[in-house]
C-alpha cells in the first residue's frame, strides 16, 4: 500500500500520477498509465517482462479504481503472425514477419537506413497498402534524402507515407502515447493513416534516437530512469500498433537501433584513410551469440520477435546475421548498388 498517490491527470483511458517511493524515502515517481501500457522511471521497470507493469503503475490503477471507480483495461491482443515477401534481399530469410517487430541493429554507417529504404522501395511496388517510414535521424521534415533514395531505387512514392519527428513527444503521440504539448483532438497518429488505407509496413529509423541523446547528456545516476521510461514507451508503441493490427490486419514493423560498440569510430577512421580492409578491422567484433549490443534498454530485445545484426563486410558490402528468428544464425552478404542493397550472387 502506497501512502501518498497524487493524481495529476485522469481521463477515461489515461491517468498520470505521482507516487512516493517506498524503497527510496524522499523520492517520488511520475507514472503514466494508458490502455496500451505504463511509463515509470523506477528501476523495477527495467526488469519487467514486456507485458507486465511495475508496482507503482499497479498501485495507481488500484487507487483510481477504489477512489474514482475508473478502471483502465490493458489492451493485449494476439494478432497472429505470418511472413511477408517484399521482393528485396530480406526474402532470403523468408521475408518480414507481419504482426511482430523486427529489429535491425548495427554501428553507424553499417547500412541500416539504406537497407530499410531498399526494402521499402521493393515492397512499394507489390504491396496493396501504405508503407509508413518514420525518420527520427536527419531532422528534415521533408524527408528529402529518403524520398530521393527510394525514388532512385525504383520505389512507388505514392504508396509511401514519409514522416519525420524531431521530438520524442511527437513520436510518442503518433504511436499511441500522450503528448503534453498537443490536445488530444489535435494529435496525428498512426490510426489516422490507417483511416486512409490499409497499412502494409511501418519502419521507424531509428527507434532509439531520442533515448541515445537523453542518456548521453544525462548524469550516470539518471540513466536507469531514462532507460525505464523508454522501455515503458516502447511497450505502449508496440501494443498500440498491435491493437491497430487486431482491428485491421497484421503488418510488419521494422525498428532500427544503433550498435553498442566502438566499431563506428573504427569505420570512420578507415573511411578517412580510404582503407580497403574494413572486413579485417571488424571481423573480431562479430559475435554469433545473442548479446545485448544495441543501444537502448532490454525492452528492445523483449519486443523484437526477429533480430538482425547488420555489419559492414568491406567497401560497399554488408553482412546480415539473424540473431533471433526461425533462421537464427543464418548469414547473407549483400552489395550496395545503384539499385539498392542486393544479394550477392
Mean pLDDT by 10 residues, the chain (345 residues): 81 89 84 90 69 83 91 77 95 96 90 97 97 92 94 97 93 83 66 93 93 86 87 91 92 88 49 48 39 60 90 92 92 96 92
Cα torsion angle, 56, 255, 162, 96, sign = negative
Spatial distance between the Cα atoms of 265 and 283, rounded to a whole number of angstroms: 15
Crossing angle (nearest 10°) for helices 223-247 and 209-216: 170
Domain ranges of the chain: 5-68, 82-343
| pLDDT, position 41 | 86
C-alpha cell at position 31? 507514472
Beta-ladder partners of 337: 340
- The DSSP call for residue 105 is E
Q: By three-state DSSP, how is residue 259 classified?
A: strand
Sheet holding 14-20, edge to edge: 5-10, 14-20, 28-34, 37-39
| pLDDT, position 290 | 40
* Closest residue by Cα to residue 30 from 16, 43, 44, 48: 16
| pLDDT, position 240 | 93
Spatial distance between the Cα atoms of 198 and 196, rounded to a whole number of angstroms: 7
| pLDDT, position 133 | 98
| pLDDT, position 66 | 92
Fold for the domain defined by 82-343: Rossmann fold (3.40.50)
Q: Are 198 and 128 in contact (CB under 8 A)?
A: yes
Beta-ladder partners of 307: 103, 324
Amino acid at each position: 500500500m502506497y501512502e501518498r498517490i497524487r493524481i495529476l491527470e485522469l481521463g477515461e483511458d489515461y491517468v498520470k500520477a505521482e507516487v512516493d517511493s517506498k524503497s527510496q524515502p524522499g523520492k517520488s515517481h511520475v507514472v503514466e498509465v494508458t490502455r496500451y501500457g505504463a511509463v515509470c522511471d523506477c528501476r523495477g521497470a527495467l526488469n519487467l517482462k514486456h507485458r507486465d507493469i511495475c508496482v507503482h503503475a499497479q498501485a495507481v490503477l488500484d487507487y483510481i479504481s477504489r477512489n474514482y471507480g475508473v478502471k483502465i483495461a490493458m489492451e493485449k491482443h494476439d494478432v497472429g503472425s505470418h511472413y511477408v515477401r517484399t521482393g528485396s534481399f530480406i526474402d532470403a530469410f523468408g521475408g518480414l514477419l507481419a504482426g511482430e517487430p523486427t529489429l535491425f541493429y548495427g554501428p553507424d554507417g553499417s547500412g541500416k537506413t539504406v537497407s530499410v529504404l531498399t526494402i521499402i522501395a521493393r515492397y512499394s511496388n507489390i504491396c496493396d497498402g501504405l508503407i509508413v517510414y518514420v525518420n527520427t535521424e536527419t531532422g528534415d521534415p521533408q524527408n528529402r534524402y529518403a524520398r530521393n533514395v527510394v525514388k532512385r531505387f525504383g520505389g512507388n512514392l505514392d504508396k509511401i507515407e514519409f514522416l519525420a519527428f524531431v521530438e520524442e513527444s511527437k513520436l510518442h503521440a503518433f504511436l499511441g502515447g500522450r503528448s503534453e504539448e498537443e490536445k488530444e483532438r489535435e494529435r496525428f497518429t498512426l490510426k489516422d493513416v490507417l483511416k486512409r488505407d490499409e497499412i502494409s509496413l511501418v519502419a521507424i529509423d531509428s527507434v532509439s534516437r531520442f533515448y541515445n541523446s537523453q542518456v548521453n547528456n544525462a548524469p550516470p545516476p539518471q540513466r536507469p530512469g531514462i532507460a525505464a521510461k523508454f522501455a515503458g514507451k516502447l511497450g505502449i508503441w508496440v501494443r498500440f500498433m498491435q491493437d491497430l493490427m487486431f482491428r485491421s490486419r497484421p503488418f510488419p514493423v521494422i525498428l532500427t537501433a544503433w550498435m553498442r560498440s566502438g566499431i563506428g569510430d573504427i569505420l570512420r577512421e578507415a573511411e578517412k584513410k580510404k582503407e580497403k580492409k574494413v572486413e579485417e578491422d571488424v571481423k573480431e567484433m562479430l559475435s554469433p551469440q545473442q548479446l545485448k549490443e544495441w543501444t537502448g534498454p532490454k525492452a528492445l530485445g523483449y519486443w523484437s520477435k526477429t533480430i538482425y545484426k547488420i555489419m559492414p563486410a568491406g567497401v560497399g558490402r554488408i553482412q546480415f546475421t539473424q540473431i533471433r528468428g526461425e533462421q537464427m544464425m543464418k548469414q547473407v552478404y549483400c552489395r550496395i548498388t545503384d539499385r539498392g542493397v542486393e544479394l550477392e550472387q
